Amino acid sequence: MAGLPEHLLRRSAEAKAKATGRSVDEILAEMKGETPPAPATAAPTGESGSARDLTKEAADLGVPQDLLRRAMIARAKADGTPLPTEAGAAPAAAAAVAPVAAGSPAPMPAIPEGVRTQRLLTVVKAGSIQQTKREPADKVNTWPHLLAIEFVALLVLSGLLFVFSIYVDAPLLEFANFNQQPNPSKAPWYFLGLQELLSYFDPMVAGIIIPGYGLAALAFIPYLDRNPSVRPSDRKLAIMIFTFFVMGAAILTTYGSFFRGPGFNFTFPWVDGIWFDF
């Protein structure tokens, strides 16, 4: 017992002595490693062949006899060993159970009277519901390293937006007139790719099927892409497909925004001007 305070050791020994019925000094000596541990007063019955004394064992462990027998049979079945002989066990059990039930002095149990014991039924492995795996990672304190960057980003963004807003006014055309559709009529810029598609395909295709399936495909990317690697060199196909669609959307949006004039016909923005409002 490496460097344990004497009084703690003593308290522990006293408790152990009370539980096992041995003397305090004996246990204390054993704890300090002066004498080899004495054999336990009531050693559990060893594997004495297949004919084990069920009654004794049941009494020792405080387990109902029939449960113990069932466990033995199950174990024997699992191990492929012959079943424990019932011949020796059964009469002994019949003889031994009766006096216990009648209340005659039972054989000295290994567990003293009034002490409750727990049996370990099963070990449930602690699986966590969240990511608690901690791999050693190169980390820095959020303060100041991250917060400082965020604060600067916040200031820069606010500043840019404010200055831009001083010089560039948001568009406001004349009052809404439902009888006079402007030519061309364009959706907000982020829908202009779709509006561009609308000039090639049926509304059902350009307005519903393509954006609908596109959005669904986008949402399902993590479940479609089963490649576990995040290294760009391992993900050439995924990157290629995604880039293809992003570039397609960007080209269509640019085309719809700047290369479509009156009647949504093709124009060059540097020839006929820009038919586009933010």
Partner 1 sequence: MSGKDKGGVMSKLAETGKHIRSSQAWSSIFRPGSPFRDGYSDTPRNRSYVIMNNVLYHLHPVKVKRHGVRLSYTLCLGGMSFFLFILLTITGIFLMFYYRPTSPQAFLDIQALATDITFGQVVRNMHRWGAHAMVLTVFLHMARVFYHGAYKPPREFNWVVGIMLLLLTLLLSFTGYLLPWDQLAVWAVTVGSNMGRYAPVIGEQVSFALIGGTQITPDTLLRWYVLHVLFLPFIIVIFMAVHFWRVRKDGGISGPL
Phi then psi dihedrals of residue 260, to 5 deg: -125, 125
Comparing CA positions, the residue from 96, 41, 42, 40 lying closest to residue 68 is 96
Complex with partner 1: residue 150 or 272, whichever CB lies closer? 150
**For partner 1, the closer CB: 35 or 227:** 227
Residue pair 258/274 in contact by the 8 Å Cβ criterion: yes
- Please state, as a whole number, how many other Cβ atoms lie within 10 Å of the Cβ of residue 93: 19
Q: Which is nearer to partner 1, 115 or 155 (CB)?
A: 155
CB of 272 to partner 1, least distance (A): 19
- The minimum distance between CB 229 and partner 1, in angstroms, equals 7
Give least dist CB 273 to partner 1, A.
16
Shortest separation between residue 260's beta carbon and partner 1, angstroms: 12
Q: How far apart are CA 278 and CA 168, in angstroms?
A: 11
Whichever of 38 and 217 has its CB closer to partner 1, that residue is: 217
Angle at 163 between CA 159 and CA 165, to 5 degrees: 115
Cβ atoms of residues 96 and 55 within 8 Å: yes
